Structure 1
Amino acid sequence: MFLKPVGRGTWSPFAQQPAVYRFVRLLQQDATSAPRTETSNSSLEASAAARVNDPSKSASPIQRQRSQFSYPPGRKAEIPAVHLPSRFGRNQEVPVTDEKRKLLEKIVSRFRNVRWAVAYGSGVFEQDGYDQNAPKPMIDFIFATSYPSHFHAVNLQHNPSHYPAFARWLGSDYISKVQEWGAGIWYATMVDVDGQLIKYGVISTDALCEDMMDWSTLYVAGRMHKPVRIIRPDARVLLANQINLVSALRVVLLMLPEEFTEVELWEQVAGISYAGDPRMSIPGAENPQKVQNIVRPQVDRFRGLYFKLLREIGGVSPASGPADISGLSGDEAAWTALGLGKSNGSGLLKQNVDADFRAQLLKRLPRNLKKGLERVFAERFETKVVRPGAPPDAEGLEEKEFWRRAVAEPDLRKILDQEIQRIIKGPATSQSFKGLLTAGLRKSILYAAAKIGKWWKSKSKKA
């Protein structure tokens, strides 16, 4: 929603406004529309929005100094800083061992102009289905940068071997344009950094935050639904991802039945990004048990990431009635009260299925998903949504009543799943083909062969 990416055809309602304020206004729009029932998280979002309302107050001394210097072509000023309360987003701080942390930080330090960075996957967190005696797995990273063309220009000088020969010849402008295709990310794979094999994706900060808040492609936003290790934090991305995580919970609550286990909750969350991904339907492209392999050994990490947000959304409680939290304190007491007390994730939960509550969940879904649902149900109901502030003679259903009717539809879960697949399928498919350009033919073949090997081992163990 911030800029019009090359080749992605995304229309922006802020296209004619100064680029420097687009993201700030989007944060304000989401923060100020939060319902009063979600007091803690919403008040923090509103506080952040208030702080960025005046750019001169929100900019740090360092950023004010930077304003005296020139910026790479295409941008005349930085987006004002977002200052958040000190404890905001602590749920996103997924711990790793000191040894792993130092390794990840050392690798990221080899790259310049990285505004935000995370590491993820089996190279960071343990997953089921992997041979512990096998060579250490490749570590996956995502880097966000304000100016992709500038990042690639510098990276071509320092790390030319990370790019295929034709990309080196065509230069950073070509690379940044290709990056915008599909999900807006350029992946370099099977790269050796200080003896460690890594894969890293480069995405613009604008495209990253757009995906997190609007679910424009769900390619990186879906990755962030699972535990990741943040190596280089950024306040705007932190806030956008907090909204992204809340959106994931709203979606899965709408898709789950009235009663479900904790593991089923986390598997639904982890599985969002794989809906519509062509790799899941191609033998050898991806492990069919990947979602279960991610969740089972990481139940505690999913709790740490989501339980406070789940409590703020409300509507979830132990199926057996109020839990006994005597003798417990801190996080353990909080998640036990929600019904997340069993270490293996088998605790049975119950959610509020009241029509008004579920209509509120639908109403607050990410923009791209909500737009698709509105299109489907408007056609089914043969009407349109009349929003607050519309003329008195406007024809259609009031927004509240429209979503009340939608949650009563028996195939709501199916439609939700179809719309999520619609969002993911196109960008995920083009990203898969784009790998031939970003990695080169040789590395693409080697990477595909490694994936098929993992799939074959998983299939053999299951048999």
Structure 2
Amino acid sequence: MFQLRLNVIARSNNSAVTIRCVKRINFVRGDASKATTQDPHKQSSDVWASEHLQHILQHFDAPIRFAAGYGSGVLKQDGYGLNPNVKPPMVDLIFGVTHPEHWHSLNLRQNPSHYSFVSALGAKSVTALQEKWGASMYFNPDVQIGEQRIKYGVISMKHLIQDLNEWNNFYVAGRFQKPIRILRGDSRVKLSNDENLANAVRVALLILPPQFSEYQLYTTIVGLSYLGDFRMIFGENPKKVENIVNAQVGYLRVLYKPVLKDLCEHFVAGIESVSAGEEVQALDAHKVVFSQNMDVKLRGALLFELPKKVRDKVLAVFHKKSRMDTVVSALDLSQKAAASDSIQSMVKQAIAETVRGPALTQSIKGLITAGPTKSFRYIGEKLSKR
């Protein structure tokens, strides 16, 4: 049995109060914030209400098994407040479908204007482009439905669940570690994303120092999917991570509370909660401080539990650096790698390598699937946010 102790310390007015490991972690109690006590995927948005997004889904005749909205058009981010004098941001959606070729066949018939010149090749070619390039997604950007502009990406349920479980390209997995709004749920996606969130915490703990703030925890997690993504240099707002966390601390607390609680209950981690008459929900995330046990066996266990693709990348780099001649088990090698002074950089490198290829090829594919006019317009809007 492993036990990794995280001491949560609430600092206020130069005082600090802690309670030893508890089974129940109350980041929110009483009426501190009713919105954040609900299922975080069902919280009311500052930008668009759920009814509006559901109305968008109803526009599509092709069957959508799973749907989620993300980005500044769905959930509030700092720097993207709703301004009546400014055109509202595009709503970003992900559709999980059971049979992509059948889905595109129906959608091409109903909504041919959503597609670029690629549509002339038919549903089979559209699906091949979706499945074999990039992150196994097909995006139709800058689509007008009523008065709302949307961008929607189509992915097979198989590839969606696979990425959440295995981090094959970290495209969907990375997005789902950040604030999203579930519009049409699926039990398999829910189970897979629970493990995805747990793995995000494991990676963050390997990257973070012995003591870190709650704010650092969330910025580390939210920033994972941008490691190795060339768009952070060229197209994305360089303050994107901070913008998301600053506006969504309450959401992130609720989203990751079950993960921390589960770690405590199964003795993989010991979590301490705050109780001093001041709600954690009301605290500045910079003032809630964690300290983690840096025991090599515990950190080795964190590394060993990561998705195999990422873990193997870390171990391959470590094995090459250490010039080990003997053959050891993956668990033993994980413990040795975790003891390395370069474990943080090796983990970041593994994530960046996982992200880099799919992010680049998906963006190149996007130029084809969107067509030149929409592509230049989309790039221009991205650059204007910098």
Task: Please tell me the TM-score bracket, short chain as reference.
Answer: 0.7 to 0.9
Could you list the runs of 5+ residues in structure 1 that have no partner in the other structure? 1-34, 39-89, 385-394, 456-463
Matched, 1:309 2:259: yes
> 1:363-442 to 2 correspondence within 5 Å?
363-383=304-324, 396-442=327-373
Matched, 1:102 2:51: yes
> 1:52-63 to 2 correspondence within 5 Å?
none
> Which of 118, 122, 129 is 1:178 aligned to?
129
SS in 1 for 2:385: helix
Q: Which has the higher contact order (CA 8 A, sep 6+)?
A: 2
Q: What letter is aligned with 2:41?
A: E
SS in 2 for 1:373: helix
Paired position in structure 2 for 1:274: 226
Q: What letter is aligned with 2:44?
A: V
C-alpha distance in 1 between matches for 2:231 and 2:175: 15
Q: What letter is aligned with 2:240?
A: K
The Cα offsets for residues 255-297 of structure 1, whole Å up to 9 and x where unpaired, read as 0001111111100010000000011112xx1100000001001
> 1:70-109 to 2 correspondence within 5 Å?
93-97=41-45, 100-109=49-58
> Which of 227, 230, 244 is 2:182 aligned to?
230
Matched, 1:254 2:206: yes
Task: Give the TM-score, by structure 1 length.
Answer: 0.70
C-alpha distance in 2 between matches for 1:437 and 1:168: 11
C-alpha distance in 2 between matches for 1:358 and 1:208: 29
Paired position in structure 1 for 2:75: 125
Matched, 1:217 2:169: yes
Q: What letter is aligned with 1:346?
A: K
SS in 2 for 1:397: coil
The Cα offsets for residues 405-433 of structure 1, whole Å up to 9 and x where unpaired, read as 11110011011111111001000001111
C-alpha distance in 1 between matches for 2:212 and 2:254: 19
C-alpha distance in 1 between matches for 2:152 and 2:378: 13
C-alpha distance in 2 between matches for 1:277 and 1:354: 32
> Which of 366, 380, 385 is 1:449 aligned to?
380
Paired position in structure 1 for 2:250: 300
RMSD value, Cα: 2.2
The Cα offsets for residues 338-361 of structure 1, whole Å up to 9 and x where unpaired, read as xx7614443111112121211110
SS in 2 for 1:187: strand
Paired position in structure 2 for 1:73: none
Matched, 1:197 2:138: no
SS in 2 for 1:129: coil
Kept in 2, the 8 Å contact 1:148–1:176? The answer is yes
SS in 2 for 1:361: helix
SS in 2 for 1:410: coil
Point out the structure with the larger strand share. 2
> Which of 274, 299, 302 is 1:323 aligned to?
274
> Which of 272, 283, 291 is 1:350 aligned to?
291
Kept in 1, the 8 Å contact 2:45–2:75? The answer is no
Kept in 2, the 8 Å contact 1:317–1:350? The answer is no
SS in 2 for 1:277: coil
Percent of paired sites with the same residue: 38
C-alpha distance in 2 between matches for 1:362 and 1:131: 39
Paired position in structure 1 for 2:120: 169
Q: What letter is aligned with 1:167?
A: V
Matched, 1:141 2:93: yes
C-alpha distance in 1 between matches for 2:95 and 2:57: 9
SS in 2 for 1:276: coil
C-alpha distance in 2 between matches for 1:276 and 1:94: 31
C-alpha distance in 1 between matches for 2:282 and 2:317: 39
C-alpha distance in 1 between matches for 2:365 and 2:260: 37
Call closer, same or farther: CA 1:325–1:91 in 2, change over 3 Å.
farther
The alpha-carbon deviation at position 97 of structure 1 amounts to: 4.9
Kept in 2, the 8 Å contact 1:120–1:139? The answer is yes
Paired position in structure 2 for 1:54: none
The alpha-carbon deviation at position 308 of structure 1 amounts to: 1.9
SS in 1 for 2:306: coil
The alpha-carbon deviation at position 130 of structure 1 amounts to: 2.3
C-alpha distance in 1 between matches for 2:81 and 2:188: 38
Q: What letter is aligned with 1:292?
A: E
C-alpha distance in 2 between matches for 1:365 and 1:447: 35
C-alpha distance in 2 between matches for 1:204 and 1:265: 31
